[in-house]
Amino acid sequence: MRPILDIPYSPGAYRPIDLTGLTDAGCREALAGYWDMPGVRVAYGGYMERRGLYDGFSHFQPAPGQERNIHLGLDLWAPAGTPVLVPEAATVHSWGHRKAPGDYGPVILLRHESAQGPLYTLYGHLSPESLKGLVPGKVLPQGALLATLGQESVNGGYAPHLHFQLIRDPGDYRGDYPGVCSLQEVDFYRENCPDPLPFLGW
Ligand SMILES: [Zn+2]
């Protein structure tokens, strides 16, 4: 099992959540129900989930019929300020501050080496402080403090959460990569962005 948040994993503390089709208001209502449950500290899920969460943001509507609403990462909903840990030994690939409404806000990409070739991980909706002191190629051991979760005012406008995504090949992207895609693009992105849960070993 690999670390990802500085909240010890247990099935009681981490609960799966299904946000399929929900708007922003619906997501917040669903999350509030989780925070009322005894012992629950993280609500997680969302890989390949088709969402209504992005309907209000022009960022996700390139043209009618091409709405980007299929979620390519794993979301871990937890309080702002929660520390994010490096899940596997890595080097810093790139980072950015994506300020458009609905975008990532502060975001970091790491590179991991494996026998199958490089694999990249993306961490979105971070605090601005998370970007201080980053150096391209900096070596980060497993479990090192990477970042903290951002407030809604800096994270693109969402309830605080980590967007965690695997990427086999980020191409020319630096400090960014699509976190949602349209139905027309899903075959490509499912291949290039595998399910993060097996990677975490949950
Ligand atoms: Zn997400």
Residue-wise pLDDT for 82-109, tens only, equals 999 999 999 999 999 999 999 999 999 9
Residue span of the structural domain in which 68 resides = 14-196
Q: Using an 8 Å Cβ cutoff, are 88 and 112 in contact?
A: yes
Whether 97 is in a domain gets the answer: yes
Tell how far the Cα of 180 is from the centroid of ligand 1, in angstroms: 8
Tell how far the Cα of 123 is from the centroid of ligand 1, in angstroms: 9
Q: Tell me the residue length of the chain.
A: 202
Whether 101 is in a domain gets the answer: yes
pTM: 0.95
Whether 6 is in a domain gets the answer: no
* Count: domains in the chain: 1
Q: What CATH number corresponds to the domain at position 136?
A: 2.70.70.10
pLDDT, tens digit, 9 for 90 and up, residues 41-94 = 999 999 999 988 887 777 777 777 788 899 999 999 999 999 999 999 999 999
Tell how far the Cα of 171 is from the centroid of ligand 1, in angstroms: 20
Residue from 105, 118, 110 nearest 86 by CA: 110
